Amino acid sequence: MKKLKLFEHFDYVSFFKGKKLVLVSMTPKHTDFFDGVVAELVIVEDHTDYDGETGCNNYEKFTFKIPNVPDEYVNDFKLNHVVQISEVHKAKLWSQKDSYQVSLSIEGRLAQ
């Protein structure tokens, strides 16, 4: 079937509830497709209930893009400190060809 991804919705509010996130890296990025800062976050605590199981995503990393901010934005954050997701503009799930692992792509804003 075609265009099924148009109907896929990722409930990021429920997913991030009960999680503690730590900032691992933060780098300015300027391409034809993205202009802003890219942060790598790791889930250091996962208390989310996954049908009776918890901790499924402990120590999983994901990329968080912060569009349309100056390079100096990286100076507002300290590496290896807890951060919060304050806004989400886009959130989608994706997988690479020939892979069963699903990855997460998020754009928004972070807060300390």
Q: Is the pLDDT of residue 3 over 80?
A: no
pTM of the model: 0.87
What average pLDDT does this structure show over 65-81?
A: 96
Could you tell me if 50 and 110 are in contact, meaning their C-beta atoms sit under 8 angstroms apart?
Answer: no
> pLDDT at position 6, please?
72
Q: What percent of the chain has pLDDT over 70?
A: 99
The DSSP annotation for 50-104 comes to: BTTB--TTTT-EEEEEEES--GGGGGGS-TTSEEEEEEEEEEEEEE-TT---EEE
Residue reference for tokens 């100076």: 75
> pLDDT at position 80, please?
97
Condensed to tens digits (0 to 9), the pLDDT of residues 20-59 reads 999 999 999 999 999 999 999 999 999 998 899 989 999 9
Query: What domains are defined for the chain?
Result: 4-111 (2.40.50)
In terms of Cα–Cα distance, which of 28, 24, 47 is closest to 36?
28
* H/E stretch holding 16: helix 12-16
CA distance 34 to 71: 13
